[in-house]
Amino acid sequence: MTQYEDRVERQRIKIEAEEWAKQVKSIHAHSIQSMWYDDRPQDTEDNKCVVDRQFNNGVIERTLDNGEIFLFTKEELKGDALIDAFTQNN
């Protein structure tokens, strides 16, 4: 049965990485129109504030003051890239 140890360990790490990916990496409340990922500058016109939450998998979730939510997913980590990021950060 030892021939499967590597596969079992990789699956364990994959499951942990998928849980880690859902955790918040940073929260940024702002009214800036020049964020590197921002393709919605109208959200912060006239000094309107937004809250951007970045998750460990790279997804950024923006919440407007009226409760609307938009996602920025230019580079969502999945598969081997997610596992690599997880192992580098843990």
Mean pLDDT of the chain: 93
DSSP for residue 5: H
Which pLDDT band, with edges at 50, 70 and 90, does 3 fall under? Answer: confident
Which pLDDT band, with edges at 50, 70 and 90, does 74 fall under? Answer: confident
In our burial notation (b when 16+ CB lie closer than 10 A, e otherwise), range 13-49 reads: eeeebeebbeeeeeeeeeeeeebeebeeeebbeeeee
Which pLDDT band, with edges at 50, 70 and 90, does 73 fall under? Answer: confident
Which pLDDT band, with edges at 50, 70 and 90, does 1 fall under? Answer: low
pLDDT, mean of residues 41-61 = 96
Domain boundaries, the chain: 2-89
The pLDDT tens digits for 17-33 are: 999 999 999 999 999 98
